[in-house]
Structure 1
């Protein structure tokens, strides 16, 4: 997606993320390529049949890192992943001036939220460490009358399937929801992709405050 379209901002520097505070912006994405050490650390946490669904709410400090380490399948190979999650959580806490971050790290072998939807919270940061990234819709490709619980009489949400955007592995994306003051009815429409057979996603989601 080009960086100059109406309601999203893309860049390869962390300076793009504060653009989420702009009234018109509902998606701010820092594009990044995961370094080899981090890719290896991620892969080590995804052995076949291993479960991973970790939650945390609190300060993004050493207690958080220690708790996450205890829940990882391969804690001895987790250093790079722990460092990355710690850095992201601390940056998010600084950006939104809060000491509390809600964090979830989850392994997914199928789509978690396969239907396009809008979050009712103010904002969420997501990044995919492995597997396909989250999908989103530009406003011109959305029929918001189709959102919410599915019914036979509801129209299709997607008016232009070719316009569906997808985040890349490693991208840091701030998604503005309907709960952001002044953004009611304009939250970013997005969904979890369906992994291919045998494919696994590792998704990190963080909520400030």
Structure 2
């Protein structure tokens, strides 16, 4: 079943630790089918994760784009159309091996456009050699899709592990945001995650707290983010 087709049906997903019945405050949804992603529309859900394994052809395409000294990036704001696909391919350092990766990005943008009923998306694909946002924070926008094609996935916190008084710019009088270091969750490489932010109507002050993962010296990370507008 294709990603875009399966988004029309919602199913229950498995939580990282315990069932929703035993933990009524659980605010995540997780599963191996794309139909888990629409659970982000549930009032109490602030992260929906589709776990997936990347195909060998996609992994080869990703590797080709990461075997470069150039820290390249692609940005697009608008309709995910044929022009976007051409520009995406043109931006890659190994365009002759780009098709599987380009096709996956296009599939995800089309699925996001359908899921959020919008023609306009903000798309960024970046090859990184350091953490962009190493501090725990929550986004002010309504929702964002994130996936790491290569390298470690984003880290996020269950609400029980968060002290929201510690969010924002650091200062000497602020407490630590992280209450329980053992509670940190990490997305797997290839996983698709919808992160609900403070800008989602009715979710003010409850945006998912997350951060960029630490990267080892010489390690690169290929990160895709998609923001519906």
Contact 1:3 1:9 in 2 (8 A): no
User: How many residues align structurally?
Assistant: 209
> TM-score normalized by structure 1?
0.98
Task: Please tell me whether residue 4 in structure 1 is matched to residue 19 in structure 2.
Answer: yes
CA RMSD of aligned residues (A): 0.9
| Residue in structure 2 matched with residue 63 of structure 1 by the alignment | 83
| Residue in structure 1 matched with residue 228 of structure 2 by the alignment | 208
Aligned with residue 85 of structure 1, among 100, 105, 108 = 105
Aligned with residue 95 of structure 1, among 115, 136, 157 = 115
Task: Please tell me whether residue 115 in structure 1 is matched to residue 135 in structure 2.
Answer: yes
Tell me how far 1:3 sits from its aligned partner: 6.8
- Partner of 1:149, secondary structure, is coil
- Partner of 1:45, secondary structure, is helix
Task: Please tell me whether residue 181 in structure 1 is matched to residue 201 in structure 2.
Answer: yes
| Residue in structure 2 matched with residue 25 of structure 1 by the alignment | 45
- Partner of 1:15, secondary structure, is helix
Q: Deviations over 1:118-172 (max 9, x none)?
A: 0000000000000000000000000000000000110000000000000000000
Which moves more between the two structures, 190-199 or 21-30?
Answer: 190-199
Which moves more between the two structures, 48-57 or 143-152?
Answer: 48-57
Which moves more between the two structures, 82-91 or 55-64?
Answer: 55-64
- Partner of 1:113, secondary structure, is coil
Contact 1:3 1:11 in 2 (8 A): no
Aligned with residue 139 of structure 1, among 149, 159, 163 = 159
| Residue in structure 2 matched with residue 125 of structure 1 by the alignment | 145
> TM-score normalized by structure 2?
0.90
- Partner of 1:50, secondary structure, is coil
Partner Cα distance (2:138, 2:18) in 1? 22
